[in-house]
Structure 1
Amino acid sequence: MISRRQTLGLFGAAASVALLPSIRPARAAVATTFRIGWQKNGVLALANRKGALEKRLADRGISVEWSEFTSGPPLLEALGAGALDFGATGDVPPLFAQAANGNLLYVGLYKGSPEGSAILVRKDSPIQSLADLKGKKLAFKRGSSAHNVAVKALRKGGLKPEDVQQIDLAPPDAAAAFKTGSIDAWSIWDPYLAIAEADPDTRILATARGIVDSYSFFLANGDFTKANPQVITDVIDELAKVGKVAQSDLDDTTTALAQLTGVPADVTRITLTRPGADLGSVSTITDDAVAYQQGLADEFYALGIVPKKLKIGDVVWHQKAS
């Protein structure tokens, strides 16, 4: 069982890293550094652990800088403002970043397991169905993929977002609130989900299976991408290689991620072996992914969550055209 103290120790300190020391302007020149925003999961975390991108870009004379974030919204805020060149998030953060006129482009993707996102309640909670969430305190990070899971799960339960008390909390704060019972339910993703799930007093109310597709996206600063298209091409290619190797040897991958994140190996392995999880699924943007994001953007605009209509195709990078 992971205690509140351990959870905050593993992830709480990362929140401060999101406050970058300065916002440097986006660069329209040939790069000498490649600035990455990352979270403690997925292929990007493994590339960090193994120094794969450093090795791939060394011949170009490009060094790599890493800044850690606990969720996608602040990561993309930094990327869109030019403080980062590249990063990975779930499906919702890019919508808010695009709506805020952030200077970013979709450049790649990978798909995870729908079981890697879920809505949690306490084991002794009277909440037994999604419909029972009516009037309850449901926590999630606004603008994150958990926001999408919450919206669609509520709809599946016959509810609207306004039928619950929506509590905007970053994962470390939500973990503490969930542990103390100050919120009734929590929409969250791995590895936070797996950590909470290891507590016998936690119960999964619903996973994202059958509710949302599990897309994660690689995004890059628009000016950087236009000036350095081959760097982006190389990085996506290298991440695909890292993912395939990682998927072929889950024992080594589990050890590597556990050492990087501080999450116990048995919990880490759960995240890697959920149905449909595939670290080797890295690719450039597909038409299906664009259609998925467009549908999500239209839905969130109709609900008044995103402030304006978005055209996802306007911010998709096509490698051949570059």
Structure 2
Amino acid sequence: MFNRRQTLVLMGAAAAAALPLAAQAAPEQLKTLRIGWQKNGVLALAKGNGALEKRFATRGIDIRWSEFSSGPPLLEALGAGAIDFGPTGDVPPLFAQAAGGNLVYAGTYRGPPDGSAILVHKDAPIRSIADLKDKRIAFKRGSSAHNFTVKALRTAGLTLADISASDLAPSDAAAAFTSGQVDAWAIWDPYLAVAEKRPEARVLASGKGIVESWSFFLANGGFAESDGDILADLLDELRLVGKSAQDNLDETVRNLASITGVPEDIQRVVLTREGADLGKVAAVSPEAIAYQQELADEFFKLGIVPKQLDVSRIVWRRKQA
């Protein structure tokens, strides 16, 4: 039976989103840098080792952390001004931009393609993507798993209309998968790495060869405009944290396990997948913009995103002195 406690430990309360937005409004002079984080990646490490607190201490800036379980609620808080900065996969920014959220793409990082997968039950007769036709698949709408599901189905000539989609957050999807309420589950690391350890779960298909693994750092538009120097330093520090972590994987595994509560063996799986590199924090490149624009156009044509988007319009570019 799938261990619900293992997935629940991964889920964070979207604390910032639960607070009155008016109370979260940015002060006239920035004294607190509000960061949304999820229980993985370089931001989790930075939270654990206090790197950002050290970097900004001499400037009188405090760091406030708010935990989120996935990208959509994080970006909702970001676009509304409840937080200043946070990470997400490729799809959540499209929904946030379509909803008129005040946010910008600030940086990128690349994860391993097989850090996402579609899981099925070990003894299920589902042996190929084509076998998902008319099956119930759980994924969080507006997440990177949404994109992966669309593209995976396409490899077999299927669309979302050929399946029964269940819009579930990771912990709820895990419970639904365990109880047999859904036939398949599209999910990302570290939830995926946890699930792979369970004897009843089987990987039907990973993202490798199906979807590129672009992820993004986004910032509130007002924060990026008024405090671009802080934003630039923040991204630079994350790059340094990531590079150091990648160069010392044994220590990084222990640290992430301590920070997130996810066991060391799970963290090692996540950090050693082909293509994993915590130091791949970079500016938003033309390649990244092109990828997002193609995704935005595709989701608009499919009727998933309600309006045509110009991704380049909300890309932050550091002002030159």
Which category describes the TM-score, using the shorter chain as reference length?
Answer: over 0.9
Paired residue type of 1:207: S
Distance 1:6 1:107 in 2: 32
Matched, 1:194 2:193: yes
CA deviation map 1:201-243 (0-9, x unaligned):
1100000111111111000000011110100000000000000
Q: Pairwise mapping of residues 176-255 of structure 1 onto structure 2 (< 5 A)?
A: 176-255=175-254
Q: Which runs of 4+ in 1 moved over 4 A?
A: none
> How high is the TM-score relative to the length of structure 1?
0.96
Identity of aligned residues (%): 61
Return the offset for 1:112: 0.5
| 2:14–2:74 Cα contact (<8 Å) kept | no
Instruction: Classify the secondary structure of the residue corresponding to 1:236.
Output: helix
Structure 1 residue aligned with 2:280: 281
| 1:2–1:198 Cα contact (<8 Å) kept | no
Distance 2:261 2:26 in 1: 34
Of stretches 294-303 and 176-185 in structure 1, the one that deviates more from structure 2 is: 176-185
Distance 1:278 1:208 in 2: 17
Distance 1:88 1:15 in 2: 16
| 2:16–2:83 Cα contact (<8 Å) kept | no
Aligned mate of 1:23, from 21, 24, 45: 21
Return the offset for 1:263: 1.1
Return the offset for 1:299: 0.2
Matched, 1:90 2:89: yes
Paired residue type of 1:148: N
Matched, 1:121 2:120: yes
| 2:17–2:76 Cα contact (<8 Å) kept | no
Structure 2 residue aligned with 1:4: 4
Distance 1:43 1:33 in 2: 20
CA deviation map 1:254-291 (0-9, x unaligned):
00111111111011100000000110110111110000
Return the offset for 1:321: 4.9
| 1:28–1:223 Cα contact (<8 Å) kept | no
Distance 2:129 2:200 in 1: 19
Aligned positions, number: 320
Distance 2:35 2:6 in 1: 27
Distance 1:289 1:250 in 2: 27
Distance 1:279 1:85 in 2: 22
Distance 2:131 2:43 in 1: 37
Matched, 1:303 2:302: yes
Distance 2:292 2:27 in 1: 28
Distance 1:272 1:6 in 2: 18
> How high is the TM-score relative to the length of structure 2?
0.97
When the two chains are superposed, the root-mean-square deviation of aligned CA atoms in Å is 1.4
Instruction: Classify the secondary structure of the residue corresponding to 2:219.
Output: strand
Q: Pairwise mapping of residues 255-266 of structure 1 onto structure 2 (< 5 A)?
A: 255-266=254-265
Return the offset for 1:2: 6.1
Distance 1:215 1:28 in 2: 33
Q: Pairwise mapping of residues 40-189 of structure 1 onto structure 2 (< 5 A)?
A: 40-189=39-188
Distance 1:290 1:104 in 2: 15
CA deviation map 1:29-79 (0-9, x unaligned):
431000011100111111111111111111111000000000000000000
| 1:122–1:201 Cα contact (<8 Å) kept | yes
Instruction: Classify the secondary structure of the residue corresponding to 2:59.
Output: coil
Instruction: Classify the secondary structure of the residue corresponding to 1:82.
Output: coil
Return the offset for 1:27: 3.2
Of stretches 73-82 and 21-30 in structure 1, the one that deviates more from structure 2 is: 21-30
Distance 1:253 1:62 in 2: 26
| 1:30–1:227 Cα contact (<8 Å) kept | no
| 2:14–2:73 Cα contact (<8 Å) kept | no
| 2:21–2:82 Cα contact (<8 Å) kept | yes
Paired residue type of 1:180: S
| 1:28–1:227 Cα contact (<8 Å) kept | no
Distance 1:242 1:259 in 2: 17
Return the offset for 1:179: 1.1
Distance 1:15 1:181 in 2: 26
Return the offset for 1:20: 2.5
Distance 1:54 1:287 in 2: 31
| 2:139–2:185 Cα contact (<8 Å) kept | yes
Distance 1:182 1:321 in 2: 54
